[in-house]
Each structure stands twice: as structure tokens, then as C-alpha cells.
Amino acid sequence: MRNLLVSLKKIYKNLTKDTGMYSEVQREIDEQEVEVQGEYEEDSSQVLLVSPIPRDKQRQIRGTKLQFFERLDYNLGLIRERIPDKNLIFEKFVVGSRGKRVVVIAYLKDLAHPGIVKEVKQRIKQIKAETVLDSSYIERNIENSRLSPFPQLEHTLRPDMAELALFKGKVLILTAENPEVLMAPTTFFDLMDAPEDLFGRWFVAASFFRIARFIMFLLAATLPGFYIALTSYNPDLIPTKLAFLIASANEGTPFPIYFEAFLMMGVVEAVRMIMIRFPNEMGSTIALFAGVVLVIAGLHANIIGAPIVIIVTLTIITSFGIPSFDLRLSVRITQFFTMIMATVLGLFGYAIAFFYIAIHLVTLKSFGIPYMSPFAPIEGSGWGHDILREDIKAMPLDETYKASTKNLEKEKGEN
Amino acid sequence: MVKKMRDLVKDKFDVRVIITVIYMTMVEFELFNFAQTVVNIAGNAAWISIILGTIFVSINTYILSKLALRFPDENFFEYCQRIWGKTLTRIIAVGYFLYWFSFISLLLESFSKANQTLFLHETPLIVPLILLILGAIWLVAYGMAPIIRFFQLMLLFVILPLLLLIILSIREIRWDSYLPILGNGIIPILKGALFYGGVFQGLEIILFITPFLNGRKKLIKMSLIGVNITSLMSLILATISIGILGVQGIKESIWPGMDTVGIIQLPGFLIERYELFLTMPWLIGIFTTICIFLYLLAYGIVQVFGCQFRKGIIFAVGVLAVAATYFCPNLAWLMKMRIGITYVTFVFGLFIPLLTLLVAVVKKQKGSEVNE
């Protein structure tokens, strides 16, 4: 590992020598990086302990096991090593009146849209805080809508994903002492994207799983609400056999269906929190045990009906099909919203909830990019890599954020 | 569609978006009526009326597109001031506002009645109306671009259930329902065609959407495609309805669409009742149509009268439209008014734009050239 870092340092030093085209700010950060590189030699044992351990949030099937970690210089070096390109630009900012946290943005000058880069810089400069404890502080201060439940920036620990983002024309935001790299702008379809889609061999399978993921998203966001609406207000729309089964299962249960649904969803949230808070595998076991015992006891005591258990379990399973943790959280909120609307106004309420969520999604933007792009607005050229995965030999890239050279020239002319 | 990132940031759309906009603006109560009035007029030859009516609507679309292309960077009320003068423009605009306002109110009232029958039997009518109009106000407040994006997002949820219904219902059709063709002569068919021409309320959106589009040279072609796709769907649904319910069945039905779908049986298939597949596109259709008319009305008032409080106007117009529904005495009156407004559509959807185009041509007035 030490060898890796030494070679990384050499490569990085060579690259930082090529400062002919960089701005003053660029040179400044390069100098700082070279200085910090020196620290590696003095205290590299610190680096050895943490850098190679993959901190997986998700199981990784293919791709590099290297990850970003707390050292900004290391993270920048990692990016520079992957893209030894003169168009790769780093720009440094210091955020926090007292904490003085260094924030660096990275982008490919020929691919990133100048308007987006400018916007990112402006928003970072406008942050007013005493210190930046985490990259999430940066995130919440620069995103378009803080009230929105939907995340407007993506974060990653993986250098390959960061590289992909750069080639998509996105801007990376790296924060000192923080391993999470933010990527801007971000659309809904970026958040539904899993690395396996890109690295998977067969494009048909990748497309299939992507579509499955979208269906799972819809189910996760709306299934309990839909069930409440149908059973409580319009049972006539349920197939007869199924309606009888649901009715017989709920016979004798003391609570109305909507209450059962809220109760079960609450239990699931509690179990989820146990799993996060407990320090090791024991937490999962306890959470699982508690959940199973509660459900079995509830069913045996006839306090809850079996159909709602199926619905809630299905909702939870499908919600885990969503790759982004932040998006999963927002889906949980929308679940409750659709449930409340369906409880109060049945199918109509469900439809209204659906409209409201859709309205929010179409009015939301991330650094000028419509959040639902390339679906709304429909951008046919983006469907092959954002919604499905087209059959290409090269790595599928995104054109959504890319400004072609032609456009840049035009914009220069306009200015 | 949108090739340039710049256009995404500046909310410009490819001209092909007009297909979606036209379809989503037109789709509303036809989904429940399945062209009931045309069947009432033309009998089992209603499908011929629809085909003839489509030709008429296509000509109308061509005229509107020509006018829009003459002033591509302006909307109708902007260039009207140059063509008709300020005072006359205000009078014309007030006419449009009254027409749009009446249409929104009638649509809201129709929705409210259907909603009471289908979903919320005991809930006060005002509750769903307020929730619906609040959603529309929210969307319209953001302007045209989010409305278009909303249409695009919803398109799939309208088209897919309808296609499923069409496929499933084919096996239920009794083919003898279409015979005899021309049994009542040609006059009812022509009357039906004329009526069908007025069903396309909201086609004037072409006059207001052009400034948001790129590649406007294709506007005529794309508008015609949009209108013909909408008409094709209407033709298929009406034909299926005649084939399943028969002319008499349609005449006796309140919502022939629902009755047609209710007959579909497919033993062994997962679903037994298909009404949900019609109510979902219907609700979306109602909402999108209300949104576009509310946009035209509120932004029109803001533009023509130079009002400052755009959001306030949108809100006020929305609330007033809901309040106006209380003046509707009963369902029969509502049906009558809906048929009446279909004929008024000719004035605002065809005659005024046609006159404007003629005057603009005679006066040799035109806006900037279409370069894209």
C-alpha cells in the first residue's frame, strides 16, 4: 500500500508540474497539495490504516475497490491519476468563518457546462457558516430547494463513479476531512442509476433491471396508499376473489385498514432505525427478531390482518431496489403522504398525491437541469444511457450536462 | 429531443413537444363520453363523422400554426396589439378570457359530478375541487415549461392504460353494430363532423406555445401529427363504444366510456374490473386540461392588463372558477352548456385566428424569421 501511495505521489507531482494553463487559484491548490503530499512520507502509517478498506454502503459486484477517504489531497490525487488530462480543473474555496474548511471543485473544462460551473462556484462562495462539519453541510447549502424531500446532489465514495460524473460533464465537490464526494447537477435518473448497470456485460439485462427499479420505485412510493384507497373506498374495483380474501382476513381485526397500514409502517421504520443504530450484526438480528415476533403475535392475536403485512413487506422490499440512500428516505416520506391522502380521500386523494408529487418533480431543478430530465423534458438522446442502457462498446456516458464545444463557442460569441 | 444543454437550462423545448401538449390538452371528458354527442347526431356512422371532422380540425390546426409561425417569438396577445390595435385586442382578449373561464368552470363542475358518482359519494363537492385547483395553481405559477414537463411525465400514464383497454375491448365488439352504414343519410354525418370540429377546445394553445419551442420550422407538421393522433385515439374509442354498446346503448348511457369498459371480460386475466384503467387517464386528462386553460387565462390577464401580481391573479382566477361551479343548477344544464361551448370554440379557435392571419397577410405584418 505504501508503494501505491509513493507511486501515486510521483504521478501526482508530475501532473501538478504542468501548471502552465492553470489559474492562480489552481496553482495555489496545487502547491498546497504538494505540501500535503509531504506529510504522507512523514506519517504514512496513518494513511495505510484507512485507505484500502472499502467502506461499502452497497455490495459491490464489479469495479475498483479503492475509495475516497478523509484526506483531500489523496482524493484529488486519485482523481488526477484516473484522468491525467489537462482539461481537468481543480478550484479551491475556503468555507467557514472559523472552521476554515477547504472545499475543492473538480470538472473537465471542455465537458462541463460553464453556466453550471459558475453556479456551483457562486453557491459555494455564498455559504455562510462557522464551520463545515460534513459535506452534507455543503450539499444543503447549495442545492436548489432545501424544502424538497428529493436530493438534488449525488454523493459517492467511489473514484470510478466520480470519474464517470466528470465525463458526464458534472462538477465534483470535495470537502477536506470528508470522504463523500458530491456530484452536481443530479437528476432523478442519476439517483436511480446503480454502478452494476454500467459495468454489467449485457445491455438487455441492465435495461431490464433499470425498468424493474423504476417499477419498484413506483410501488415503494405508492403501494400502501393504493391499498388503503382501494380497500377503504373502492373495494368494487378489486377482483372479487381477492376482495373476499382481504375481507375475510380483516374479519375480527379491531382496527380499520388505514390504521393497520400506519401501524405496520411505523413498526418497519422502528426496525430500520434499530438496524442503523446498533453497532454490529447483533443489531440486524435483534431488529429482525423483533419485527418477526411483532408480526406473528399481531397476526395470531388477530390485531392486524395478513394482507397489510404482505403490502408493507412488499413496500419495504421494493424500496430497497432504490440505489440512493437519500432517495430512499424521500420515498419513505412520500409513502406516508400518499397514505394520508388515500386515507382521507380514497382513490381521488391518491391521485391528487400523485399529481402533487409529480408537480414537485417537474418544477424541481438541479443547477438549472430539470430534475426529471431526460424523461420530462423528453430528451430522446439521453434515454439510451439514463433510462435504459444502450448497446455500446464504450462506457455509456451522459450528454445531459455536457456542453459541446460548438455550444461553448456560440456562448462565447454571445458574451 | 432537446439536444443542447443550454436549452434545458433556458427551458426551451423541441417542437415535437407540441404533439404531447395537444394530446394532453384535448383529452378530458371524451374519455368518459367516447364522443357520445357525435354518436347521438350521426348514429353508427359516427366514425365517418370523426374522420371528416379530423380533416376540418387539421385545416384549423394548419391555420393556427401558420399564424403562430408568422410571429414565432411572440404569443397571440402580443402580436394582436400590432394587428388589431390596443383597444380591439383588449376586447378580443376579454372574449377569450370569458371563453376560457367558462370552459374551466364547466370542466370543474363536470369533474365534480363524476367524482361524486365514482369516488367520493359523501364528501362535500368543494373539497376535491379545491384540492384539484390548488394543484393546478401550484403548477401554473411556475409557468409554461413545468406544465409541458408535467404533460410529458403524465403521458405514459394516460397512453398505456388506454392502449390496454383498446386491446382488451376488441374481442367484445359486435361487428353488426356498424351496419347499416349511412343508414340515416349523409346530413347527420356532416352535422356530426361539424360538431366534432368544435370538440377540440384548447387548440389555440398553438398560438401561445411557439416562443417556448426550438425547431419551429416543423411546427405545422408536428401540430398536425398531434391533432391526428388525438383524433385517432378518439376514433378508436368511439368505434369500440359503438361496437360494444350499440347506438342505443350509448344514447341511454351517462358515461358511455365507463359502460364500455365495464363490459370487458377476460377470464383468467389478473384484473376483473377495468374502470380504474379509464379513471386514471381521465383524472390526469382533466387536470392537465385545467392547468393549460388556467395558464392561458391567468397569464393572458397579466399580459393584456399589465397586472403586477401574477401569482395572485392565478390564485384568484382558480378560486373564482371553483366558485362559478356553484351557479350550475343541474347535470342536464351542464351537458347543454358543454355542447353549447363546443360551438363557441369555432369563434375563438378558428374565426378570430383566421381573421388575424388574413389581416396580418394583407397588412404584411410579421415577426422575426424562423431560423431554427
Produce one character per residue of A166-178: b if its CB has 16 or more CB atoms within 10 Å, e if not: bebbbbbbbbbeb
Separation between Cα atoms, residue B194 and residue B37, nearest integer Å: 11
Query: Nearest-CA neighbor of A400 among A103, A122, A183?
Result: A183
Query: Nearest-CA neighbor of A339 among A276, A242, A268, A275?
Result: A268
User: Are B200 and B57 within 8 A, CB to CB?
Assistant: yes
User: Are B21 and B226 within 8 A, CB to CB?
Assistant: yes
At residue B6, the pLDDT reads 44
Here the ipTM equals: 0.91
Sign of CA dihedral B82, B83, B88, B89: negative
Query: Nearest-CA neighbor of B152 among B20, B11, B23, B25?
Result: B20
Other Cβ atoms less than 10 A from the Cβ of A367: the count is 24
Which residues in A lie closer than 8 A to residue B128 (C-beta atoms)?
A: 345, 348, 352
Which stretches within A323-404 are classed as H helix? 325-363, 380-382
> Minimal Cα distance from A226: which residue of B?
B276
CB-based contacts of B227, cutoff 8 Å, min separation 6: B22, B54, B57, B58, B61, B200, B203
Q: What is the DSSP letter of B327?
A: G
Which whole number is the average pLDDT over A363-372?
92
Query: Nearest-CA neighbor of A311 among A251, A231, A235?
Result: A231
At residue A35, the pLDDT reads 37
Separation between Cα atoms, residue A262 and residue A344, nearest integer Å: 13
B2 within some domain: no
3-state secondary structure of A173: strand
Query: Nearest-CA neighbor of B32 among B286, B272, B248?
Result: B286
pLDDT for A45 beyond 50: no
Q: Average pLDDT over chain A, rounded to whole? A: 81
Query: Nearest-CA neighbor of A133 among A180, A91, A171, A90?
Result: A180
- Contact B2/A at CB under 8 A: yes
Interhelix angle A135-142/A114-125, rounded to 10 degrees, is 110
3-state secondary structure of A190: helix
**Nearest CA to CA, how far is B141 from chain A (Å)?**
10
B5 within some domain: no
From the list A346, A349, A370, the residue facing B8 with the nearest CB is A370
At residue A215, the pLDDT reads 94
Using DSSP bridges, classify how beta strands A369-370 and A365-366 pair: parallel, antiparallel or unpaired. antiparallel
User: Are A156 and A55 within 8 A, CB to CB?
Assistant: no
At residue A400, the pLDDT reads 61
Partners of A173 in beta bridges = A105, A182
The domain total for chain B is 1
Separation between Cα atoms, residue A273 and residue A292, nearest integer Å: 15
pLDDT for A152 beyond 90: yes
- Contact B127/A at CB under 8 A: yes
Whole-Å CA distances, A97 to A44, A174, A185: 30, 18, 26
Separation between Cα atoms, residue A201 and residue B292, nearest integer Å: 45
Separation between Cα atoms, residue B349 and residue B222, nearest integer Å: 18
DSSP-assigned letters across all residues of B170-230: GGG--GGGGPSTTTT-SHHHHHHHHHHHHH-TTGGGHHHHGGGEE-GGGHHHHHHHHHHHH
Partners of A370 in beta bridges = A365
Using DSSP bridges, classify how beta strands A154-156 and A181-184 pair: parallel, antiparallel or unpaired. antiparallel
At residue A1, the pLDDT reads 45
In the structure grid, which three cell numbers stand for residue A313, read together?
Answer: 413487506
Backbone φ, ψ for residue B317 (5° rounding): -60, -45
User: Are A140 and A72 within 8 A, CB to CB?
Assistant: no
Residues spanned by the domain of B229? 14-351
The residue type of B302 is V
- Among A187, A214, A378, pick the best mutation site for testing chain B contact (most B Cβ within 10 A): A378
In the structure grid, which three cell numbers stand for residue B218, read together?
Answer: 416543423
At residue A37, the pLDDT reads 36
**Nearest CA to CA, how far is A224 from chain B (Å)?**
17
Rounded to a whole number, what is the largest CA-CA distance in chain A?
79
In the structure grid, which three cell numbers stand for residue B60, read together?
Answer: 384549423
From the list B6, B271, B279, the residue facing A239 with the nearest CB is B271
Chain A residues contacting B via beta carbons under 8 Å: 113, 115, 169, 233-234, 236-240, 345-349, 351-352, 355-356, 358-359, 361-363, 368-370, 372-373, 375-381, 399-404, 407, 411
Q: What angle do CA A41, A44, A48 make, to 5 degrees?
A: 150
Separation between Cα atoms, residue A160 and residue A197, nearest integer Å: 13
Query: Per-residue confidence at A340, pLDDT binned at 50, 70, 90?
Result: very high
In the structure grid, which three cell numbers stand for residue A125, read together?
Answer: 462562495
At residue B36, the pLDDT reads 81
Separation between Cα atoms, residue B11 and residue A235, nearest integer Å: 43
- Contact: A352, B135; criterion CB under 8 Å: yes
Query: Per-residue confidence at A238, pLDDT binned at 50, 70, 90?
Result: confident
pLDDT for A49 beyond 60: no
Sign of CA dihedral A3, A7, A10, A15: negative
In the structure grid, which three cell numbers stand for residue A393, read together?
Answer: 462498446
pLDDT for A352 beyond 90: yes
Which whole number is the average pLDDT over A119-125?
94
At residue A401, the pLDDT reads 65
Domain boundaries, chain A: 2-187, 199-363
| CATH code of the domain in which B133 resides | 1.20.1740.10
pLDDT, one tens digit for every residue, chain B (372 residues): 333 444 455 678 899 999 999 999 988 767 667 678 888 888 888 899 999 999 999 999 999 999 999 999 999 999 999 999 999 999 999 999 999 999 999 999 989 988 888 888 889 999 999 999 999 999 999 999 999 999 999 999 999 999 988 998 888 888 888 887 777 788 999 998 988 888 888 899 999 999 999 888 999 999 999 999 999 998 998 899 899 988 888 888 888 888 888 888 777 766 777 888 888 899 999 999 999 999 999 999 999 999 888 999 999 999 999 999 988 888 788 888 888 888 899 999 999 999 999 999 999 888 877 655
* R_g (Cα) of chain B, nearest Å: 21
**Nearest CA to CA, how far is B21 from chain A (Å)?**
12
Partners of A94 in beta bridges = A102
- Contact B275/A at CB under 8 A: yes
Lowest mean pLDDT among A224-228, A280-284, A324-328: A280-284
Query: Per-residue confidence at A7, pLDDT binned at 50, 70, 90?
Result: low
Element (H, E) at A321: none
Lowest mean pLDDT among A189-198, A397-406, B134-143, B161-170: A397-406
Lowest mean pLDDT among A17-31, A240-254, A323-337, B260-274: A17-31
Whether residue A54 has a cis bond before it, omega within 30° of 0? no
- Contact B166/A at CB under 8 A: no
Sign of CA dihedral A236, A237, A239, A242: negative
pLDDT for A39 beyond 50: no
